[in-house]
Amino acid sequence: MLKPVCVKINFIKCLVVLLLIVNSKVTAQQQDDSWVISDQLKWSERTALSILNKYPNAWQLDGNDKPKWDYKMGFVLCGFEKLYQKTNNKKYLNYIKDYVDEMIDSTGNLKKYDSKEYNIDYLSPGKLLFNLYDLTKDPRYLKITGQLRNQLETQPRTPSGGFWHKQIYPDQMWIDGLYMGEPFYTQFTVKYENGRSLDDIAKQFELAQNNIIDKNTGLPYQAWDESKAIGWANKQTGTSPTIWGRGIGWYMMALVETLDYFPKSHPKYKVLVGYLNQIAKNVNECKSPEGLWYQVADKPQLYGNYVEPSASGMIIYAFAKGADKGYLPSSYKKTAQKSFDSFVKEFVKVDKTGVITILNVSSNVGLGGKPFRDGTNDYYLTAKTKENGAIGIGAFLLSAIELNK
C-alpha cells in the first residue's frame, strides 16, 4: 500500500521542480528581454544604455574594482550630462549624481583626494559639479568645485608658466593636461571670478602651441619637459618622441570645450580659434582612407600601426562641435559624419540584446615612472588594446551626441 503513495509523492516533487525550472527560465528570459536595446534608438542612447547595463556604477568603468575620482569616469559622464540636457531623461542625470555622491565622504570632501599631489587629472571630473550644483544647490558640490580650483593656485609651473602635469613630473606639460585642466578652469573663472584667469588659460595653450606642437607636421607630441632633463625628452626641444593619436584628440577637445566658455570679446579668443583651425587642417590630412586616425598619428605606414577608436572618436567630436559652434568651417561637419560612419563599421559590435561594445581601444599610456616609459613609437604600438576602454566608449558617445546620431 505504501508504494503507490511514494510514487505519487515523488511525481509531485518532480512536477514542482520542473515548474520551478520552467519559471526560472521564463523569468530569466523576461529579464533578458528587458535589457534589449532597440536599434531604432540613436547611437548615443544605445551607447548610454549599454554603459548602464554593463557598469551599473560609473566607477566600474574601465574595469575598476573600487570607487575613485578619476578622469576616465569624468570623461564618460560628461557625455551623460550632454545626453541628459538633450533628452531630459533623469536616469542619465542620476548616473552622474550617484557617482559623485559615492566619491564624497561624511565631511563633504572628496575621498582620497590630496591636493598636494598636484595631479591635474583630478580637475576634469570637477566639470560635473557645476551643473549638479545649479540643479540641486547642494553646498557640497560648490565646496569641492572650489577645492579643485584652489589646487591651481599652488600648482607647480615650468619656468615659462605652464602647469606641471603632476607633482611627480617636474617641469613637464602633457598635452592631455590641457583637456584635464583648462575647460574646468575656464568655466570656473567665468562663472565665479569674473574671468580674471582667462589670460593664464590662454597662456597654457600658447605654451603648448609653441613647444609641444611639431613644427613639421603641426601635430602635438604627448609632452614637453622644459628642463629637458627626463630620459624621454629630446635634448634640443624637450618634447617626447611620439605624435600620439589620442593626444591630438585631447588637444582638440581642450580647445573646443574651453571655447565654450571663453568670451568672444577677449583678445585671446581669436587666437584660440586660430589654434583649433590650424590643428584641424593638419589632422584632416593624416586620416586613413576610411576617415579614421592612427595610434601613431603621423606614421600610418609604420609596422604594427593601426586606426584607434579613442583618437578617432575624439577628433570626430571636435570636428563636429567646432563646426556647430562656428569655430571651424562647416565642411568639418561633413568630414565628421563620414568618419563617424567608418567608426561604426570598424569599431562597434552589437550583441543580440542590442548592447554595444567598442573594440580595440588602446590602453592608457604615459611617460616616465617606474618601470620607465620611454614614449617611443614602439611603446605606443605595443600597448595592449581592450574592449570598452572608457576613453574609447566615451569618445563614441560624445561624437554621437554632437552629430545627433
| CB neighbour class for 141 (10 Å; exposed up to 12, middle 13-18, buried from 19) | buried
Cβ atoms of 201 and 179 within 8 Å: the answer is no
- How large is the angle between the packed helices 71-87 and 127-136, nearest 10 degrees? 40
User: What is the 8-class DSSP label of residue 62?
Assistant: G
Question: Which is the catalytic residue, given 121, 171, 176, 225?
Answer: 176
Is 356 strand, coil or helix? strand
Q: CB within 8 A of 216, min separation 6: which ones?
A: none
Distances (CA, A) of 83 to 38, 58, 75, 333, 399: 17, 15, 13, 19, 11
Cα-trace Rg, the chain = 24
Is 60 strand, coil or helix? helix
Cβ atoms of 78 and 128 within 8 Å: the answer is yes
Cβ atoms of 341 and 334 within 8 Å: the answer is no
Active-site residue 176, yes or no?
Answer: yes
Grid coordinates given for 260: 565654450
Neighbours of 156 (CB within 10 A): 15
Cβ atoms of 128 and 81 within 8 Å: the answer is yes
Q: Which residues are catalytic?
A: 176
